[in-house]
Chains A and B, each alone.
Chain A
Amino acid sequence: MKWSLLSDHTVHLHFWDDECVAYNKRSGDTHLLGPMATQIVLKLQQSPSDALTLAESIKLLPTDETNDELPLQIEHMLADLDQLSLISFS
């Protein structure tokens, strides 16, 4: 089971610097994604993935002190992105 981005017919993305704006055609909502969520979305754009694999490939922000909590943070962020109907788990 892996996380994947919804098709680009449903979710439109545009990237500026380290942030991203996502438009969900189904809900009509627009979301501003911060740097970590943007990295996750970029990785999922390349291929479906799971939290652990994402944690290994995602760069820490300068403000993050340790990598220990990264998998948990990514789990939470994936749940948030799922809640916004930008990604799905299958």
Chain B
Amino acid sequence: MPETGAAAAASGMAARKSSSGTAAGGAGDRIVFDDVSKFYGEVLGVNRVQLSIPPGITGLVGPNGSGKTTLMNLMVGLLRPSGGTVRVLGMSADQPEQLFRRVGYATQYDAFPPGLTGYQLIESLLRVHGCDPRQAAALAWQALERVGMVEAAGRKVAAYSKGMRQRVKLAQAIAHQPTVLVLDEPLNGLDPMARAELIALLRELAAAGLFVVVSSHILHEVDLISDQVVMLNGGYVVAEGDIVGVRDEMEEQHPAQVLIRCDRPELLAAKAFEQDHVVEARMLADRSGVLLRTRDAGRFYPMLNRVVVEQGLRVESVAPADADVEAVYQYLIDGPPGNGGRP
């Protein structure tokens, strides 16, 4: 484990935030990690993970080596925990016969069985699922259509571009219509149009009640698509829950930053400072706005509305400056955002 990871992990356990609460809900209708650890020899994969993942899109975020893939592989039984238990909708990974009727997994491995076309890959694996030839063909075409790969279905997978391979992996994961979809870095290699389409597809699946677990080391991506996030660093879960909830719980230690562009920022700063929860006001260099820091966002926004109305301010924009996944992640592992990048 890298030094930064270890340090962050040590502090991470203490600083761990949970807005959803662990182990909420029945174990049979969630993905539950109960005190799960995984070591590769003496190398830490993940340690003491306690999670209860509900339906919807859950983003696993963290830098490379933080334990995202390990967590996913543990979920589907490609790895076995060194300690603790993992149950997906009440099923153990020791029962692949049941588990993989309900779980689809697109791994990050960019390798495929040799010699197969995209269609043959999907159809063959559906046959391994137990489908008869008609079913397998119908489901394979359906999945390929969903990921926009019908045209390329007859070409060898080995000749596919990176983006096409990502899509055929997704087709393989969704072809048997799983309830739980686990996707390891699914947006890697996709062009902007394909990314937008994939994100729309994931949202559609989540809206239909699926569990969609997505990993990414690009925090911005996860922020865009996730209903809740699990933040990992150095093999430890440092925070989990919906990002707003996690951010709210950090207000005492890391006051929320709000950037307001308006015509009289000095007046707004003065009025804001009258509130006990506003701890800092910093004027922008071009005097076009002010950055305010507050320990209570719930009281801040009504106050802002009142001041704007009472003082007749012309407001151009109001934007949280540190309420995204990236900022929260940086607070958790590295101090304030903008201090030099990721760990």
Question: Do the two shown chains form a genuine complex with each other?
Answer: no
